[in-house]
Amino acid sequence: VVDLKKHFNKLLIKSRKKIFPSLKQEEIKEVEKRFKEYFNNKYNFNYKKSVLHADFTIDHIFVDKNNKLSGVIDFGDTGIADPDYDLIYLPEFDEPFKDYLKNRKDKNLIRKLNFYLLTADLQGMFYGLESENKKKFKRDIKDLKNRLKNWELGKVEIHPK
């Protein structure tokens, strides 16, 4: 079972040391603001713990010729936490995903998903640093900066522009 508050607090502490030196002061303030907003919203922690795939990308989901689910692969990142976490990968499904968000009628969901994507950007940047993959680091820092810039637009995008 993943305690998301503890998990994300550790990520923030680690980011202050390793990632923040690569950001501008206003970007650091914005990241801090988004973490504080997430931590202070009780709604974010009011969920029924569920099994997560935690890497539910379009290339891990198989459908048959009738577009019916036929398989899911890569369960290496599974855990138990907020089921909404798996939704961060679904914008790749475009219209069905947008319809799903509309039907949820949940004002906070988009902010929570963008927070989860922001944490994925930070984790990707760590991976880029640790593996000395400058291309990965640059892509994720660009995504992070664009996500912060577009936060109030209320869109959920894996790679925001």
Chain centroid offset of residue 1 CA: 18
CA-nearest of 21, 36, 19 to 121 is 19
Report CA-CA distances (Å) from 97 to 7, 27, 49, 62: 27, 29, 22, 17
The two tokens of residue 111 are 């902010």
Per DSSP bridges, beta strands 50-52 and 79-81 are antiparallel
Rg (the chain; Cα; Å): 16
Residues belonging to the active site: 55
